[in-house]
A and B are shown apart, each in its own frame.
Chain A
C-alpha cells in the first residue's frame, strides 16, 4: 500500500535497463491432437501496454491461461522480471504479481464489491479486521487510479463497466504488477471503453505492465505500445504499434489481404417494403421497452440501427420477427401484419417474406447439438418442398445443405457436423445461408458479426451487401458502430426505446452518433 504511493513519484514508462516484465521462451501446449500454442516466445517490457491480437482459436487465451496457471505448458519456460518462475496454479501467478481480468468476469454476483475484492486474499481466519483494512486500502487504490466504486455496492446491481473496474481493483489489491485483460471491451459502450483505456494508461504510467488481448484492431492502435500477432497457435510477428497499420495487422492475423472497409455501390432504393408506425412494447415488468418507434425501409437499402445494447433494438427485431407482441402498426409491402393475434409468430412472418437472423445465434438461431443440415431448415420445416408426404425429405435437405455450405463458404463443409462444432463465424454463415437463400423481401439481421473472425466478417458483410443489391430491404441492428457506418445506407439511432434521429453515413461521424446513442440530441435534424 505504501509502495504503491511511492511509485507515483517515478517517471512513467519503462526503465531502459530493467529485464522484461514477462518473457516467454518456447512455450508449447497441445490439447490432444490440437497444437494450441507452438513454440511461442514473447518479451514484454516493464511499464508497457502490449497487445496480443489474433482470430478466435489462434491460441491467445491458451497462452494467457498458461501464464495465469490454469494450464501447464508442455514445453518452455516463463521468466518474470528476469527470474525463471514456475506457475503451477493461480495462487502462484498471483504471488508472482500477475493479475487477470477475464472476458467473463469472475465475480460473485450477490457479494459486495469489498467482499469480492478480499475473496482469497483475506488477512486471517476472521473477517472483521480484513474488511476494515481492505476498505481503507481499496479506497486508496481507487483514488490513485481514478476508479471510483462504492465498496458496499452489490455486484449484480452495478453496471458492467463498474464490474470490470472491480476486477481490475481485485488484481491491484493483490499487488499485481502485470495485468492481463482478455477481450475487455466486448461488453462495454464506446464511452466505457474510452474510460477503461484512460485507466490502463494511468496504470502504465505508474509502472504497471499490461497485456491486452483483443481481436479489435482499433483498440490495438489506440492504446498499445507494442503488439504481437498470433495465428494458428503461432506468434507470427511482434511490432511497435506506431510502426504498423490496421491493414498490416489484419493481414498478419488472417494470413492474406483483408478488406477492412466494405466496398459497396450507392444504394438504388425502390418502393417501401417495411413501414413501422408507433410501435410500442411493454414487458413483463410493465416497463415500456419500445416507446412509439416509427421507421421505413425501402427495397434495395440497408437501414442500420445503432445504439448501446438494451435500448430497444432487440425488442424491435423480436416484434418484427414475430417473437414479441406489440401495439402499433407494421406494414410489409403495403399490407398490415398481425402484431398480437394468432398470426403473430415466426412462421407467419416467414410466410410473409421476412427472414430473421437473430442477435443471439447460439440461443435463438441454432440448436447447438443438432447437425448442420437439420439447422439449415429450422423455421421452414413446414415447407412442402422440404417434405415428401408427411415425412421430411432428409436426403434432399442434406443435398441442399451441401450446396448452401459451399456457396456460403462454411468450413468444414460437412452437413453431418453438429452446430456447436463450428466456429462462431461458420455458425453465423449457416444461419445466414438458411435465411438469405429463402429469398426474403425483408431481412432482419441482429449483430451479424458478434464473435466472428475478421476474415469471416468480410464475407458476411459482402453477403448482406449482395442481398441489398438484389433489391431486398435489410434492417441491420448492431452495437458495433464501425459495422453500422460501413454497411448502412441510412442510420437510425435508438436510445431508451425511441429513435433519436436518422443520419446518412456520409454526413455524420462517430462523435455525433455517440451523442445520440447516449440520448443527447443536438437540436437540428433530430426528430
Chain B
C-alpha cells in the first residue's frame, strides 16, 4: 500500500468517523446524566431526512442543517418526556423512537418527493462543500491552474499531500465534530455544569439534596444530545452523501453506543474509539486495500462486525472494567 492510498484510507476514516463521533459524544452527555439513549439512531435518521429535504427545497444547506437539528431536538425531547418526566423505561422509549424514525422518514419522503422514499440528490449550495484550508491544494487551485485535481495532488510532496488531502478539504461539520471532543472534556471536567452533570448520572439523590434540579440537568443533557445528533444526521445526508435514502444511518447509532462503552464514557477515548471504528468502515469500503493488507481473504462482513466484537470484549472485562454511570437507566424518584 503506497502513501497516497494510506492517505486516502485515513481521509475516508475521518469522514466516516465524524457522524459516529458526534453521536458518541451525544450519548456521552446523555449517559453521563443518567439517561440511556438507544435512540441515537432515530435522532440521526430524522435529522438526515429533514436536513436533506429542507436543503433540497430551499437550496440552502444551512437551512437544512437547522431543520435537521430541530427535528433531532424534537425526538430528544420526546425521549426526555418519556424517561425524565414520566419516568418510563428508557430502552423502550429509545427503541420505539428508532422504529418511528425509520418508518416516518420513508413515509414523508415518499409523500413529498415520490422517489421511492428518498429525497432527490442534492447539488450545489444544498450540500456541504469541503473547507479549503490555507496553503492546501484544493478544487479552487485546480480550477485556477486549469488542471485536474488528482494530477496536481499526485505531484505534491508527502507533507503537502497529507495536509491537502487529509487535513484540509473536509466539510465544516468534520471540524466541528473534532472540536467537540476537547469542548466536551472541558465542559465535563472544568465547569460547574459538568460537575453537576456527572454527579446526576452517578447519584441523583446527592444532586437533589444539594438543592439542584435533577430534572433540569437531565433535560439540559437531552438538549445537547439533540444538537449533536442533529449535526451527525445532517452530515450524513448533506456532507457525506448527497441526499437522504431509507435507513441511511445503517446502525451508526448503535456503533456510536459501542464506541461509548469502548471509550468508557470518556471524551478523548471516544475520539480514539470512533476513529478506530471509522477506520474499520473505511477499510470495508476498500476491498482492494484489504486484499493487500491480509494474506488471506478477509470477509468484509468481519470488518463491519468488528466494532461489536470489540465492544463485547471490553464489556467482558478483558481490557479493564467498563463501569457505566451508576444511576444510568433509572428514573429518579425522590425517596422519603
State the A residues within 8 Å of B (CB).
Answer: 61-62, 65, 68, 70, 89-91, 93-94, 100, 102, 104, 106-111, 115-116, 118-122, 124-128, 130, 170
Sorted nearest first, the 9 A-B pairs with minimum C-beta distance are A120-B210, A91-B211, A106-B206, A90-B211, A122-B192, A106-B209, A108-B202, A108-B199, A108-B203
Q: Which residues of A contact B193 (CB under 8 A)?
A: 125
Question: Once the chains are docked, how many angstroms separate the CA of A134 from the CA of B130?
Answer: 47
Chosen A-B contacts, 9 in total, with CB atoms closer than 8 Å, are A68-B209, A89-B211, A90-B210, A102-B209, A107-B206, A108-B203, A109-B326, A111-B198, A126-B191
B203 touches A121 (CB 8 A): no
Most buried by B among A102, A106, A109, A115: A106
Specify the chain B residue showing the minimal Cβ separation from A69.
Answer: B211
- Provide the B202-233 mask, 1 if CB < 8 A to any CB of A, else 0: 11011111111000000000000000000000
B192 touches A70 (CB 8 A): no
Question: Once the chains are docked, how many angstroms separate the CA of A94 from the CA of B208?
Answer: 12
B206 touches A116 (CB 8 A): yes
Q: Which residues of B contact A126 (CB under 8 A)?
A: 190-192
Question: Once the chains are docked, how many angstroms separate the CA of A384 from the CA of B14?
Answer: 70
State the B residues within 8 Å of A (CB).
Answer: 189-196, 198-199, 202-203, 205-212, 326, 334, 336
Q: Which residues of B contact A108 (CB under 8 A)?
A: 198-199, 202-203, 206
Q: Which residues of B contact A118 (CB under 8 A)?
A: 195
Specify the chain A residue showing the minimal Cβ separation from B335.
Answer: A104
Contact of B195 among A89, A109, A115 (CB under 8 A): A115
Q: B214 to chain A: closest CB distance in Å? A: 11
A106 touches B211 (CB 8 A): no
B195 touches A119 (CB 8 A): yes
Contact of B209 among A61, A90, A125, A127 (CB under 8 A): A90
A90 touches B203 (CB 8 A): no
Specify the chain B residue showing the minimal Cβ separation from A128.
Answer: B190
Q: Which residues of A contact B336 (CB under 8 A)?
A: 61-62, 65, 70
B192 touches A130 (CB 8 A): yes
Q: Which residues of A contact B199 (CB under 8 A)?
A: 108, 111, 115, 119
Question: Once the chains are docked, how many angstroms separate the CA of A102 from the CA of B205?
Answer: 11
Q: Which residues of B contact A68 (CB under 8 A)?
A: 209
Specify the chain B residue showing the minimal Cβ separation from A62.
Answer: B336
Question: Once the chains are docked, how many angstroms separate the CA of A309 from the CA of B265?
Answer: 35
Question: Once the chains are docked, how many angstroms separate the CA of A65 from the CA of B208?
Answer: 13
Known: A106-B208, A124-B192, A127-B190. 17 other contacts (CB 8 A): A94-B211, A104-B205, A106-B205, A106-B206, A109-B202, A109-B326, A110-B202, A111-B202, A115-B195, A118-B195, A119-B196, A120-B211, A121-B210, A125-B191, A126-B191, A127-B194, A130-B192
B203 touches A106 (CB 8 A): yes
Q: Which residues of B contact A119 (CB under 8 A)?
A: 195-196, 199, 206-207, 210, 212
Question: Once the chains are docked, how many angstroms separate the CA of A91 from the CA of B199?
Answer: 17
Q: Which residues of A contact B334 (CB under 8 A)?
A: 70
Specify the chain B residue showing the minimal Cβ separation from A127.
Answer: B190
Q: Which residues of B contact A120 (CB under 8 A)?
A: 196, 207, 210-212
Most buried by B among A107, A119, A122: A119
Specify the chain A residue showing the minimal Cβ separation from B209.
Answer: A106
Q: Which residues of B contact A89 (CB under 8 A)?
A: 211
Q: Which residues of A contact B194 (CB under 8 A)?
A: 127
Q: A97 to chain B: closest CB distance in Å? A: 13
Question: Once the chains are docked, how many angstroms separate the CA of A108 from the CA of B194?
Answer: 14
